[in-house]
Amino acid sequence: MYPWLYDAAEFRNHAGERVLEIGCGTGSDLLQFAKHGAVAVGIDITPEHLRLARERVGQLAEVREAEATALPFPNESFDYVYSHGVLHHIEAPRRVVDEIFRVLKPGGRFNIHVYARWSYFTLSRILKHGRNWRLWFENSRDPVHIDFYTKRNLRRLFSPAQLQIEKYEFRRAPFLASMFGFFLVAKGTRPVRGDEAGADQTTQ
């Protein structure tokens, strides 16, 4: 569905590493990590997603029911944490970030994809649907929590980690995706514990 995703997600780059996918859905991305040699674990909260994901990945990966805000894993148990299109639906995103930092090993990396606040898609929905534009981002018309991110508030959310952020997904003109793309892809490394403690003190 997204031609850019294979490289942006780094499916090929984590052979032999423990990889956690937060919000694995029906297991499509999780399977790619597993096929390329990762020790892959996916979590989700939707029963049908869990069933389909287990059916798709078979014995190649582990699928567990769990909340992103309370990951059922020991500290420092993963080399890489990945999540596509999930964090922007969570009402307490900093709790998810703290859990990501907790389960990552020292030097472990994360790769998080969220909706961009400024994109061709948000603009088109505003122009077409007016004040109800937020109801037209998902397949269902039922109200759902959605946050839209800028590079600035993503960096604030993941502080004190340093982020590399790129924009993707503008099918009509891929060469303009860096300006008008629909997804922000944020990559970074778990901060050292001293940095995390300093950040906690400055936010209290």
* Range 31-39 contact pairs with CB under 8 angstroms and sequence separation of 24 or more: 31/56, 31/57, 31/60, 31/61, 32/6, 33/61, 33/82, 34/60, 34/61, 35/11, 35/60, 36/11, 36/12, 38/14, 38/80
Question: Is a pLDDT exceeding 70 seen at residue 189?
Answer: yes
For residue 97, give its domain range.
5-117+145-203
Q: Is residue 129 domain-resident?
A: no
Q: What is the DSSP letter of 191?
A: P
69 lies in a domain? yes
pLDDT one-digit tens code per residue, 115-160: 988 877 777 677 776 777 666 667 655 667 888 999 999 999 999 9
Q: How many domains does the chain have?
A: 1
Single out the residue of 184, 149, 150 nearest to residue 170, CA to CA.
Answer: 184
pLDDT at position 201 is: 36
Torsion-angle region of 21 (φ positive above 0: left; ψ -120 to 50: alpha; else: beta): beta
CA distances from 69 to 1, 44, 201 (A): 28, 11, 21
Residue 189's domain is classified under what CATH number? 3.40.50.150
List, for residues 162-172, the tens digit of each pLDDT value. Answer: 999 999 866 66
Residue 27 located in a structural domain = yes
